[in-house]
Structure 1
Amino acid sequence: MAISKVHKFRLALFWRLFTNYFIVILIPVIVASILAHVLAVRTIEKDAEKLNDVVISHFSKQTDIALDSLKTNMINMLSSSNLTSLLRVVDDSRENQQRSDQFHALREQLMKLQSDKLVSKVFLYFANHDLVADIDIYTDKTYYFNMTYPLNEQQKVDYLAHFTGKKMMDIMDSSSLGMSAVMSYPFNTENPEVYLVVHFDQDKLKEQISIPEKWVTGTAIATSQGEILNQHGLTDKEVKAVLAHTRSKVIESQFLVTDEIAMSLVKSRFNDAWYYVTIADLRTLMKPAYMTRLISWAFLVFFLVVGSLVSYYLSRRLYRPIQEITDENKELSQRMNGMFPLMQELFITKILQGEYQDELSIAYYAKEIDFTYDKQAMRTVLCIAFHYNAEVYDRLSETTKSFMFVEIKELIRKSTPSMVWLCQTKPDVLACVVTHDTFLHLGAEEAADITKLVLESYSQYFKATIGIGKTVNAAEELHESYEQALSVLQNRGLDADVEICRGPLVGERTQWESFLSVQEVNRIFNQHKTKEYERLLESVREKLEDGKDKNATAMQVKYLSTDVLNTWIRAVETEHNDFNVPFFSSLYDRLHSCMTWDELEQCFFDIHRVLFRTEEPHQRTQQFSEILSYIHEHYNEELSIEYFAGLLNMSNGHFSRTFKEAVGEKYVEYIAKYRLMKAKQFLLETDMKIDDIAEKVGYWGRNSFIRTFRKYEGITPAKYRTMHH
């Protein structure tokens, strides 16, 4: 309470100092910033609008001139052409030569018109005759619109519907065919004979309407009927904004800023229904205004920050001793808060292990560590036993393992609607205390199913078994539920990745003999003596299938499997003295790491292949022939006896004896002699240094090479080279 009063007093002092600073310094700064914003920024914005109007006016004037020029060329073409003479002979088959000459003259006029930079295609459509002519061909309408200028049926209907009535450079626009202009001849009749069609080059038209200024992002030609005849650089949002404004009656140039889009609209003098539109990048156009505004605000913020820091420094310096005491108390409080989850988990562990079995002690310790709980509630303990997949799990670092289990705990808490307490009671056991929720109808069975779904996503690292204890009504009885859950775990099987054990207890399950009888042990010894090795493996498989059919527990199966392995080892150890204690120990480790029926069967298959291997003489010869070939190719590398013994599933001693029997020399001597043979070739055939030759033939140093050479040859490598040279 005293510390709180000190903080309030220091805060009041801070505001008093800051108020004086505000009145004396900040108010003039604010006035200066407002003046800069109102006067300088507004002036710059007006200049930017004027610049925009000048540019778009110039742009619209150039475009109008280009379109007026095209219209004039179309009128001149129709006026100066010999269309009247052509119409008289167009259907007369007797005057083919005259018609051809007239079409040739007409083609030259069309080519001249098509040379306009905005034009991509020109043709004449004869309204009362089955004829269409362009610079390349004159033919009937069906052929022209199927082959030369192909249109589908719907396009053809829509397109040909325009060729009615008087046209004075009417604009047609189609999303699929592009923009085109139509003019009829004779000019003043409602039933013209010929229509001159000019298709605009869309790319050239975009170039015509584009503006090279950096602050102009897009341009367009739009109509008051809600159409965009051509556009360059417009986004979908900008297109919608343009259509919305061109439908309204815009009479003169405007500069509009709506929905963060700045646009200018100018009515075309070429066509009263057209508007030239430009979209401006406000950030570029208004950059000077933005910079001025930013500087004024930065100026204001700077003085505001300086005043705050000065006021804070003065108030802090006056009360620094009190602040240090407060910080120490705060740090101590944070450390205590960080330890609470660990202390609470340890507290739950002690309850489950039976160290706190009375209501009073549990309530007292819970209050000390700020652990809130309902004293009277139905709870059930779930024990999750993890059976790790050593091949995958052991590759993880300790940090990764810790984070994985933290993640599992968090997922279980989030996935279970009711309150859940979690604690690690053993290295491979996670206890989960579930509080029953009668409203949600959530009990131990439902919580176990939810936990199973969480654990299934981690099945590559471990096989998990969930044991469900009995339901208790008080926290001091939780150790009974925990003990029963541990007991239930003994019923786990070898099937699922995540298994839920709901009972019964071990003594109540189907009885299955988990040890070998004397008769079965004697049968194994007899089968080994008679070399019925395949029958040994088949007997184990039959036992495992019987256990699977009778739903034997993992513990029962492991007892039987250990008994079988003991008998196998006793049978082979009398004749295979190369198998040592560490080797047998590795077999037991492999057996006990199995988590499923398939892994157990594969384990026995591998052990059987090692203990009861049978090799024909020709097989052994083939194996050692391949080993000798490998030595000859890799004599300069490290060739350990452990590597080859592992390939043949032999111990080091057994491999060494077998190598000598097959090759006639000890393994070490054979490699040494082969390397020296290669070394002598290098000594006599090359000028390589002794050090280089030693490295070339697989020796790590000069001394070991010279020592080995002298042992087998009686002289040093240098003397050998001198004598033979």
Structure 2
Amino acid sequence: MMIREVQNSNMLILKQAQKSIDQEINSLQANLMQAALNRSLNEVLYLSKQSNYDNFELIQDSISYLSALKANNNNISDIWLYIKKSDIVLGTESKYQRSLFFSEVCKYKEDIDWDKVFSTSDFNYLGRKTIYRGTYQIPVVVFSESLPFIDKSPKGMLIVNMSESLFEKEMTNYNSEKVVFNYVVDDLGNTVYTNEQYYADSEDLNLIQTAVQMQLAEMTDNQDTMELVVEGKPFTIQYIQSKSLKWKYISVIPTGYIEESVNQIRNVTLLVVTISILLSVILTLYIINGLYKPMNKILSYINIIGDKKTVVKQDENHDEFTVINGIIDYVYKENQTLQDNFEKNKPMLQDKYIYDIINGKINSDFENMGLDIGIELPFNYYQVIVYEIGEETPSSLKKYKKSYKEDALKMKEIAEQTWGEQCKYFFLEKDDRTIVSLINAPKSFYELSGINDYLEKIQEYFVEQKYFPYVIGVGQSYKDIQNCYRSYIDALETIKYQIVKGQNSVIYIDEVRNSNSAVITYPLERESQLIMVTKSGNSEDVTRMLDSIFRENFNGRELSPEMVDNLFHALAGTAVRVIFEMRLTNDQIFREKQDIYKELEYRKSIGEKKEYIIQVFKAITLFAADNKHGQQYHILEKIDAYLEENYSNEISLDTVAEVVNLSTSYLSFIFKENSGLNFVDYVNQFRLQKAKELLETSSYNISQIARLVGYSSANSFSKVFKKYNGISPGQYRKL
């Protein structure tokens, strides 16, 4: 029976550890996704080695952002960004050459194929690695996220070394009083974490390692408990599968240890009982011997720790009853003081109690605790509503922000007028712009229209008080107090949905759940088209293309708030990319210095975000139209100078694009826009012009001329010459 209790207890611990670690990894993935959309990090991806020195402020912004990411997550040991174009690494303190970074700053013990890692897109787990810290070797778990976020051909890579402290906190500490071997194993059977180091001297260590390896292939269920015997020793192996990663969380308990513990408990219990009996006899004799002396000592202690007022005067003789009466008076006065303090702090205790309920911090005696502070929850169903009022306040101005405590009381009055005794309701001010209400009601309550009537009155109150903008998020009702936190999570999710439905509205969780299946439609081909059209300076085509992108994503589709944000961040990233590829700055495009990403965050509805993105692209297009011809003429001059020096060598579009610091797609566009030719035709005509000069002025034969102007053979040269001129080189020479 004892073994079964230990197994049940350990499985609960294992589930909690799995849930906590998975949540932390999911949170890391979400943070890295946001980082992949960060303006500074996306801008540095397009800097060449030379331009790195000219953009010191941008580099520092990126380093500061990485440093903030690390500071806000205690589980991150290192975070760094590799930039493919300039072959440099940005850490949390400085910028490094790639070779220096891996040899001195962040040296990995394992031989890692970084080129392969840097070519992999999306979020990936790279395995458990070891890094050197001076003379120490530190185990870390490594993850990567490619940049830009929507690009399948990464231009950069965020790498995070996650400390083992997360696993130790969630797995080791839970079992600090038991002998439990813990493992986290990935889908390839490699160890992500183990606490073997704490039991290095255990004679069972090798047996346990063997047992885990034997059972890995059998671990196919979501969770299970297995009992087996290895070399005559019994073990219990318990595991649970990760719900987000392909990891297994495993605990191994030497069953023999439990039997030893039971025997120790039995022996200690017998000893305690024996000692208790002896002490009882001694204490009885002592009480019989005299009562006054111990009572007097009690009074002395009270006088020492109390408020220096004596309970009875020490120089007078009193019998035992007088002494006891003095103690009773003292205890009564102290109890009255405690009662007064309790009543004074009761509202704060009630708020804390409600806050614990909505956050799921509940224990077995929770309902009795509520009764002690005057909160009765007699019904089975619980529902949370969140009210977000006004704009977000900068931290420097929060001390001047209006408190909504009086409004919470007024909202409680409205609830009382609407619902009466149909349910219980509680309100608390969560922060400087959020009020939370908890409803405890019977099932029959939700068959009425009480919620809707109440929310209409609340909206009228907000309008009357001119509380704009506001949004009210309504979570689903759940049975049992243990599930109340789920309603709170629902309500918070609905608040995010204001970006879709708009502000000054009531949003129910059912509206949000119907939107979660759709994903954004913005493929790389579409982005390339938008970039090309924007650089062409055609404002009407840009507006038409943006309208088309918005129709594809919003007409007849319900996107989640996260997907809406992702689409607009992707479009903002495209705008930033266009500005950089045109070798411009935000100051040149906009009259005032403007951060496109921050401006997007200030706009809360889809309509406002659409309007702003169109304005941004129109501003870029207008600037491109005004400067197109002058800039493109300068670029073609630079290309002609390069061709003049290199036409006899092999020339590719990628090489020329690198020379003029442009993307290949934009360079092709420039050729077509200004000459009506594609890149190959432009280079061929340049070479053929040189060939004609040699045919007219030199005595070189056809093969020699072919090599001099960059063709591999006389045959290929003749074919190209005839294609463009209608006659062969030999015929041209005779003219």
TM-score (norm 1): 0.34
TM-score (norm 2): 0.34
Larger radius of gyration: 1
